[in-house]
Structure 1
Amino acid sequence: MELKELKQMVVEANKELPRRKLVKYSWGNVSAADRERGIIIIKPVGVPYENLTEENISVVTKDGKILGESWTPSVDLDIHRAIYENFPGVNAIVHTHSTYATILAQLRLPLVCFGTTHADYFAGDVPCVRELEEREILDRYEWNTGMTIVDYFKENHISPEDIPAALTPGHGPFTWGEDVWDAVHKSVVLEEISKMAVHMLCIDKNAQPLKRAVADRHYNRKHGADAAFTKDDYGHGMIQR
């Protein structure tokens, strides 16, 4: 893919966040990694979504160095960098403060798989990772935030392809995918199933998760070796599988 095309995709994917009501003001960002070029393209800090263009989208090296006259990248850049560096199958990341997913993050609760909508996209609960220690907050806060996600997945033997999302305590959700539209799509789904879960827990704090056999059936018919359907609406990008 030409760099110009990838920059256009990142611009449009960022603009999709307010269209999908996942952000207010500039409360989120989308990035993409071009692993062949060794670069990351990400929303610049403080620029309203409606003002994003190919000219002001930020381009940095995989080590976080700003390229050319590129605009200053999002303050969350190092969170993205930590995930890219440790999850080689991830090519795009989305971070928002969408209401219901953030409620769960602020409550330090995982998003339990309560129903088949969840199971269609995530092979189990979406975790809320550990709290940062004080020393991690004071030094390299953003990088350490990303590493709490990486460490949780590695320590619990979770595939980032099977569970392409995590909640960071007191902060909010992150999703990822093979391209920006895949990652944005996961954010839309994550927010909707978080909304369902929060309402369920308000009605019954002891609500039970979906039976494992049903959850596995739904995930595998969409993502397994004999998947019955793989095409989906990836929002503004409409990527056809």
Structure 2
Amino acid sequence: MFTELKREAYEANLEIPRQGLAIYTFGNVSAFDAARGVFAIKPSGVPYDRLTPDAMIVVDVDGRTVEGRGRPSSDTATHAVLYRAFGDIGGICHSHSMYAVAWAQACREIPILGTTHADHLTAPVPVTRPMSDEAIERNYEIETGRQIVERMRGLDHHEVEMIVVACHGPFTWGGTAHKAVYNSRVLEEIAHMAYLTETINPAAPPLKDTLIRKHYLRKHGVDAYYGQS
């Protein structure tokens, strides 16, 4: 019934270890079918080399299992909150990549310091506020999703497809599950470059607006000219 959706989720999940975004069973990717209001996600605690398309678990946007055996990822409720809030996205990736996690643990947004960052978004990578004790005790995974949605207010989730959750780690999304993983790999590269830049020069200034606009719009604007038409 959900063969293609599960295959998309399976293939995207395999990119997490291939791209060095997590070790062991850390991380997860989901693929969303907005028309049917369901998403396929990795089962909890299963090593990537033991995954199969049939092992993917399909749940609805309220987190109820629709198809599959076993327990879905422990982050399923977070994915569900984001799909309810950003209904036109097609995939979500949560990784534990080293440099993005470091910025999250430092509770810092990732400043826009260079053109690699500007190729993908025109602002710092946002960071959520730290979660309150009350929220942690209520429903940690749901509250993580709510933190992200709260921080994204006033931002366009089509233009800002990545965030770091304070004290936790990165979440990214996109039009497909594969684009969500792509954004996670880009985020890790941006996070690494920003760390190295501030290590070399703690007073490094933000990238100037003219360069931000030039690099973003040449890829994403109506007059974009990067790549092949």
Q: TM-score, normalised by structure 2?
A: 0.96
Does 1:204 pair with 2:201? Answer: yes
The answer to whether the 8 Å contact 1:105/1:171 transfers is: yes
Does 1:188 pair with 2:185? Answer: yes
Equivalent in the alignment of 2:217: 220
Aligned partners of 2:142, 2:73: CA distance in 1, in Å? Answer: 13
Residue-by-residue CA offset, 1:27-47 (whole Å, 9 max, x unaligned): 100001111111111111011
Aligned partners of 1:205, 1:34: CA distance in 2, in Å? Answer: 44
Aligned partners of 2:227, 2:88: CA distance in 1, in Å? Answer: 18
Aligned partners of 1:3, 1:131: CA distance in 2, in Å? Answer: 37
Residue-by-residue CA offset, 1:53-102 (whole Å, 9 max, x unaligned): 12211111111111244331101011111111111222100001100000
Equivalent in the alignment of 1:43: 42
Aligned partners of 2:149, 2:37: CA distance in 1, in Å? Answer: 20
What is the root-mean-square deviation of aligned Cα atoms in Å?
A: 1.4
The answer to whether the 8 Å contact 1:34/1:40 transfers is: yes
Aligned partners of 2:4, 2:15: CA distance in 1, in Å? Answer: 16
Tell me the secondary structure at the aligned position of residue 65 of structure 2.
Answer: coil
TM-superposed deviation, 1:167? 0.3
Equivalent in the alignment of 1:55: 54
Identity across the alignment (%) = 40
TM-superposed deviation, 1:182? 0.9
Q: Which runs of 5+ in 1 are unaligned?
A: 232-240
Q: 1:163 aligns with which of 135, 145, 160?
A: 160
Equivalent in the alignment of 1:141: 140
Q: TM-score, normalised by structure 1?
A: 0.91
Equivalent in the alignment of 1:234: none
Letter in 2 for 1:229: Y
The answer to whether the 8 Å contact 1:221/1:229 transfers is: yes
Q: 1:222 to 1:37 in 2, by over 3 A?
A: same
Equivalent in the alignment of 2:176: 179
TM-superposed deviation, 1:229? 2.8
TM-superposed deviation, 1:209? 1.0
Letter in 2 for 1:74: S
Aligned partners of 1:88, 1:214: CA distance in 2, in Å? Answer: 32
Q: 1:181 to 1:153 in 2, by over 3 A?
A: same
TM-superposed deviation, 1:222? 0.9
> Structure 1 stretches (4+) deviating beyond 2 angstroms?
68-71
TM-superposed deviation, 1:230? 5.8
TM-superposed deviation, 1:183? 0.8
